[in-house]
């Protein structure tokens, strides 16, 4: 495979991942707004909280995986 084809494929994978992430947070914002009937600011804060929790859980999972791999040798 050509180098530019590989770079294009990686870029497409990243772009697709970011679109999925934004779609999930946008959906969380709209659902929170519709269900709780609060302000849009509250809904955006909720989406930010979901984002922070998502990042923290991924970080903890990566640390646990690395520790397990180090123990297994």
**What is the reported pTM?**
0.59
Please give the torsion angle defined by the CA atoms of residues 52, 31, 29 and 56, in that order, rounded to the nearest 10 degrees: 10
- Tell me the pLDDT band of 1, cut-offs 50, 70 and 90: low
Q: Domains of the chain: which residue ranges? A: 3-72
Q: How far apart are CA 62 and CA 56, in angstroms?
A: 10
Q: How far apart are CA 12 and CA 14, in angstroms?
A: 5
**pLDDT for 38-57, tens place per residue?**
899 988 888 888 888 888 99
Q: Which of 70, 73, 27, 69 is nearest to 51 (CA)?
A: 27
């Amino acid at each position: 495979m050509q180098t530019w084809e590989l770079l294009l494929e990686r870029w497409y994978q990243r772009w697709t991942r970011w679109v999925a992430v934004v779609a999930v947070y946008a959906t969380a914002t709209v659902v929170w707004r519709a269900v709780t009937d609060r302000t849009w600011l509250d809904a955006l804060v909720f989406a930010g909280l979901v984002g922070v929790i998502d990042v923290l859980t991924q970080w903890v999972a990566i640390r646990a995986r690395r520790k397990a791999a180090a123990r297994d040798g």
